[in-house]
Amino acid sequence: MPEGTARYPDPVSLIATSGLTKRYPGAITALDGLTLDVEPGIIGLVGSNGAGKSTLLKILLGLLEPTSGSATIFNLDVATHGIAIRELVGYMPEHDCLPPDMTATDIVSHLALISGLPKAAARERTAEVLRHVGLYEERYRAIGGYSTGMKQRVKLAQALVHDPRLLLLDEPTNGLDPAGRDEMLELIRRTGTEFGIAVIVASHLLGEIERVCDHLVAIEGGKLLRSAPLVSFTERTGTLAVEVEEGRDALVERLTARGLRVAIDGSAILVDLVDEAPFDIVRDTVVDLDLALVRMEQRRHRLEDLFRDDPSVAPVAPLAAAVPAAAAIPPPLPPADR
């Protein structure tokens, strides 16, 4: 590690860890030899509850010491360059951490002062970031009266106020409704692209990760599961999904007769793409049968496939016993079992 080059490191590596391990008392291993290297960008961090995401974030922030191994941010070792890293990193925690009786302006400028900004600069930056996150007149009211969406914005603003080069966001859309989520995701995207700030988003919502991130890091059981550009997780598969308005069965029959391998999934017909010929066969058969073609597209891999491989999540089997068939209209249950 380039110890001496601390002043303004060349940002080729955003975060890098090597054999990073964290054990908690009671033989709980949260991180188990995690090794990864990520370049700046908007990075999604996913993993099951207990996979080690929070532990990783805390180690990166210098709030926890690893049991063994090392971690760097912008090539600065988290164990030895805590202060320098704090200047470069903004953190938006998941939990509700804002004092209800302070105003947004007061708390954000207070945190700016703590970050070492001079008073005038703190005031200016506060006004700037609150405008950036979309808080206007409300900023002079006590946070206790804010909606969830407004609180999330304040949390984002305080993470940005000291002009960091990396933002760590922990479940940034928690509790937001669809419009609030859209706005927050758009804000994250803009912060990452227009201002060139690297962002790490920890989230359980894979759809969200897919919308804003360009790189994905998945960890599982304290180890790296996969780290790759997002597009590589959602490549097209060799299955063509076809939906028609009516006449699905006739289409299936005709396609099968023409030698295609066909399966049915809900309202869609799945066609095996051995080569490009099926595209024309489907098109022509739809015309011949005079059907309405609602949708025809290649299926894509999904991010959640990452979490599907485990056979223990297979449906039905363990459930069958506990869920008896119930009639649509419940007869009053027997006064049973007293």
Site residues (CB under 8 A) for another protein?
Answer: 46-51, 147-149, 176-181, 204-207, 245, 276, 279-280, 282-284, 286-287, 290-298, 303-304, 306-308, 310, 313, 315-316, 318-330, 332-333, 336-338
Q: Which two tokens stand for residue 248?
A: 């699905």
| Closer residue to another protein, CB minimum distance, 272 or 310 | 310
Minimum distance of another protein from residue 10's CB (angstroms): 33
| Closer residue to another protein, CB minimum distance, 94 or 124 | 94
Instruction: Count CB-CB contacts under 10 A for residue 322.
Output: 6
Exposed/middle/buried for residue 217 (C-beta within 10 Å: 0-12, 13-18, 19+): buried
Please give the angle made by the CA atoms of 153, 102 and 131, to the nearest 5 degrees: 35
Among candidate residues 215, 229, 154, the one with its CA nearest the CA of residue 187: 154
Minimum distance of another protein from residue 122's CB (angstroms): 32
Minimum distance of another protein from residue 325's CB (angstroms): 5
| Closer residue to another protein, CB minimum distance, 120 or 328 | 328
Among candidate residues 60, 52, 54, the one with its CA nearest the CA of residue 77: 60
Minimum distance of another protein from residue 273's CB (angstroms): 10
Minimum distance of another protein from residue 268's CB (angstroms): 12
User: What CA–CA distance (Å, rounded) separates 20 from 226?
Assistant: 16
| Closer residue to another protein, CB minimum distance, 201 or 206 | 206
| Closer residue to another protein, CB minimum distance, 4 or 26 | 26
Q: Which two tokens stand for residue 123?
A: 């005031």
Cα 8 versus chain centre, distance = 29
Task: Determine the 3-state secondary structure of 213 from DSSP.
Answer: coil
